[in-house]
Structure 1
């Protein structure tokens, strides 16, 4: 592990934020740095996006959480022993999982503002969330649980294709490293059988679900030991890739009262603590929002919530250091957040690739409309996610890295 710089001893408090490549980390850095806190950013290579912010006090390099999990934990533990940190914020699934695996040890050195290990493991298990939702009368996709491949014949007559093959967790740590267990689809019983074969030696088989079509709805919440303190909603306008992925332009919207109620009930049942994103899909057949999963960490579009008036990182810090924080549910509707270089990638994909190769729906905006939309560099209530003239260096670093990839 190596320090890039050391400063901030006169600050009001100290926070360690992991995953410095993430734009959500940059948002948290700016939020907490503006409070006068000494923010240390960690990543497995330096410099990185968030480390370039003027609000960073220290930058540390640690072993890769992906390729060297034990080294990563050792480096994080070493950093926590060097300074008294008020809290640590893992910002991705992998670092969160590793930190939670060492919850008892690491929590002796700093506060990990997440529900306990038991609640966390339940929250990231999609099967347990489906079962909990059903017990709370929260709508779910029709889901089949099987313990052995021989049980497929039992449900064969009930399946309507395509079906979704959904691993219980997005990522698994094995003796040979991390496995990225993505969602897959099967269009016939034979294909389902074949695709499940790779899981036959797995300790837990994936869920088999009906495919629910419709727009995604996400509720973003902050809880203090089972009590909701903040809630925020947004919608995606453009994504990278265009067919669906990371949002490049999004705006704040009024809360969906039904989704809000379901999300609060679900997290209360988990006695949740800290932040979480609860994802639903609005079923195109009847408009019913159906639970998909819980993300037990900060989300990618965090900056939009902050710009709209709910500063989740600042609220989380106050709650962690003082025990509570005033509730905040009102925010400005219609605020837009634009990731400029991601939006440029969206534009280039739309201009240079065919509709069929991008798998676009029939009503997707055409090339001219996409170009016109991209050229709207100024819109009322629109703010740029990375590009901030009062903290320009992260954008310049991102632009340099983007140009490197373009010339490869």
Structure 2
């Protein structure tokens, strides 16, 4: 069913492309979407390349840069004014910060327009907190790695190494470390981290699997399962090449997990296949849009649009997806040169890349100038350092 003149407001820090991916999907479904974005304090056009890109994108109809932070009441007041002045149908977060904001003020915002489908505050909070999620999964006998809070460990010898150390509220693989062993002095140094809460998790040998879902009251309405085929540096996901597959074992455990949480809305689950036991473990739940969102679109599942439909109580048919590859253009070139190309150019992001030339050109120009400025500053500092050494 096509919606006439739908209008959404996306609260976002614009420090990554997640909101842009969601916007592209909405416009792909209906070009009449009126897209409004309000950017939080701390993001300026001088130091944020993604915000610079958003400013020139043809897919954003109204961009507001707020002087307030997203957790402030002043920012909330600005959001409400935009809702009223622009005739917003739905407030539509994309990033982690956006979902936290909408969840925090869900009851007040719902007085002015619809809010996107969300799980309960308790379960959303559990998804954002890896320790709470572990306890919840363990309670319901959902396979997940052995995990303990770092601050509660008294004896490091209690572990069977290797282990993973990760912050409870981190994302994107940041600040995650693997330890094959841990000396007492290093352990004490880690325990003294002043500002962060960490968990220690048993390392699962095997490979990662991703599953993206749209749910209503715990029922999975749409999903895609994707294997990451790019080379991973550390624990940062590498999504330059994906293969979308069907796997009954994966969707069974995902369905059980979403049912336990009575989940509504979208989520992206990180799972791990244990190569020694054959068991699939739930590692994390990301209650936001994801980096491989355009890949999901390319195989036939437009998650942002069906989330819009769900949030407006509009029915849609159950969606299936194709098993195929999706890659970024640079990976396509790499595979073509090394003779490992198993997919076509139409299975890459080039079709999306070329359809927003103004945003792309300004973005690339900005990155080029920023890199050139960095190189110039590096040369100046190097020259000054040499002069100082000569004086000495």
* TM-score, scaled relative to structure 1: 0.76
Structure with more helix by fraction: 2
- Residues in 1 aligned to 2:92 and 2:309: alpha-carbon distance in whole angstroms: 14
Deviations 1:136-192 (A, max 9, x none): 33221112246x54x513xx4421234222332227xxxxxxxx9833445325122
Does the CA-based 8 Å contact 2:174-2:236 persist in structure 1? no
Deviation (angstroms), 1:17 = 2.2
Aligned length: 356
- Residues in 2 aligned to 1:71 and 1:62: alpha-carbon distance in whole angstroms: 9
Deviation (angstroms), 1:249 = 1.9
Match of 2:104? Answer: 101
Does the CA-based 8 Å contact 2:10-2:98 persist in structure 1? no
Match of 1:183? Answer: 176
Give runs of aligned pairs for residues 273-284 of structure 1, distance below 5 A.
273-284=264-275
- Residues in 1 aligned to 2:108 and 2:175: alpha-carbon distance in whole angstroms: 30
Does the CA-based 8 Å contact 2:239-2:291 persist in structure 1? no
Select which of 20, 27, 33 maps to 2:27. Answer: 33
- Residues in 1 aligned to 2:256 and 2:321: alpha-carbon distance in whole angstroms: 22
1:387–1:397 CA distance, 2 compared to 1 (3 A):
farther
Deviation (angstroms), 1:373 = 4.9
Deviations 1:211-255 (A, max 9, x none): 22332111000012222110102222335x755535352234212
Deviation (angstroms), 1:278 = 0.9
Q: Which runs of 5+ in 1 are unaligned?
A: 1-9, 172-179, 348-368
Give runs of aligned pairs for residues 224-239 of structure 1, distance below 5 A.
224-238=216-230
Does the CA-based 8 Å contact 1:115-1:272 persist in structure 2? yes
- Residues in 1 aligned to 2:238 and 2:9: alpha-carbon distance in whole angstroms: 26
Alpha-carbon RMSD across the aligned residues, in angstroms, is 3.3
Match of 1:338? Answer: 328
Give runs of aligned pairs for residues 6-405 of structure 1, distance below 5 A.
12-19=5-12, 20=14, 22-34=16-28, 35=30, 36-43=32-39, 44-45=43-44, 48-63=52-67, 65=69, 69=72, 71-110=74-113, 111-145=115-149, 149=152, 151-153=153-155, 156-170=156-170, 182-186=175-179, 187-190=181-184, 191-198=186-193, 205-238=197-230, 242=233, 245-328=236-319, 330-338=320-328, 340=330, 372-373=337-338, 379-384=344-349, 387-405=352-370
Deviations 1:58-96 (A, max 9, x none): 221123648x75554443333234333222222222232
1:234–1:385 CA distance, 2 compared to 1 (3 A):
farther
Deviations 1:353-394 (A, max 9, x none): xxxxxxxxxxxxxxxx77935997x83542226854333223
Deviation (angstroms), 1:39 = 1.1
